[in-house]
Amino acid sequence: MKNLKTGILIIFLICSLCIAGCVAPPKPGSSSSSSTPGSSQSDTGQGVDTSTTTIPPLYVTIETPYQTPTIPRTHTPIATPTPDEYVPIYSTTQYFSWNATAVSFNLTKPPMIIDFSVIPVNLTGTKIITSKLGSKEEIEVKYDYFSPYSWFEITVREKNTGRILNKDGFGSYKQYSVDTGRDVPRKLRIMQPGNLLIEMTGNQITASVNVSVIKTGNIN
């Protein structure tokens, strides 16, 4: 009887092992037939794909994006031009009585500025005239005016050719202005470079003349 129970137990163990060997393990990704009681599982297959796909380049080279440099703003001061420095090259005060004076200068960088003023001979006195009113009696009147023969002239020429570049002066005798330049000196400008001849002539007049040029380019 004891041997019978032992044989039945052995047969039962062999059958249990055979049954266990016939059950295949679950495949990866498959859902198990068993689940925890009270839980539920679902798989719709509609999840969002957040991955990035990049195709290897064929004709381009991958580079780092250009970084725009930051350029600091700076204030550039505006250069103030330096005014030209003029220097006197000739000055004279002379009485003229049908005589002339001349000087020359090789002007490399124009302009040349000639300032002048004059003191003409002034005629003053009294004279007797006949009144044109009433009894036509003779009356004495005073007079004070520039002499009609008082004049002055400056002429600037090319020294080699004698061609006149500019000229000016005083006095109706030469058909010039009667502005003496005593309050504001008269000015004569020469804008052409070259070897210049400056002539001064006049009659019954005292003239003051000052000639100036730009220092740079003319005076070493």
Question: What global pTM score does this model have?
Answer: 0.60
The per-residue pLDDT string of the chain (220 residues; one tens digit each, 9 = 90 and over) reads: 555 556 666 666 665 655 555 445 555 444 444 444 444 444 444 555 556 555 665 665 566 666 677 767 766 677 666 678 999 999 999 999 999 999 999 999 999 999 999 999 999 988 888 877 767 778 788 888 899 999 999 999 999 999 999 999 999 999 999 999 999 999 999 999 999 999 999 999 999 999 999 999 999 8
Joined tokens for residue 164: 């006149």
Q: By 3-state DSSP, what share of the chain in percent is helix, strand and coil, each rounded to 5?
A: 10, 40, 50
Strand ranges, E, within 108-218: 112-120, 122-130, 138-146, 151-158, 164-170, 186-190, 194-214
Q: What is the pLDDT of residue 32?
A: 43
Joined tokens for residue 216: 């740079």
Q: What is the pLDDT of residue 10?
A: 67
Q: What is the pLDDT of residue 106?
A: 96
What is the set of domains in the chain, with CATH numbers? 86-121+147-214 (2.60.120.380)
What phi, psi does 6 have (nearest 5°)?
-65, -40
Q: What is the pLDDT of residue 131?
A: 75
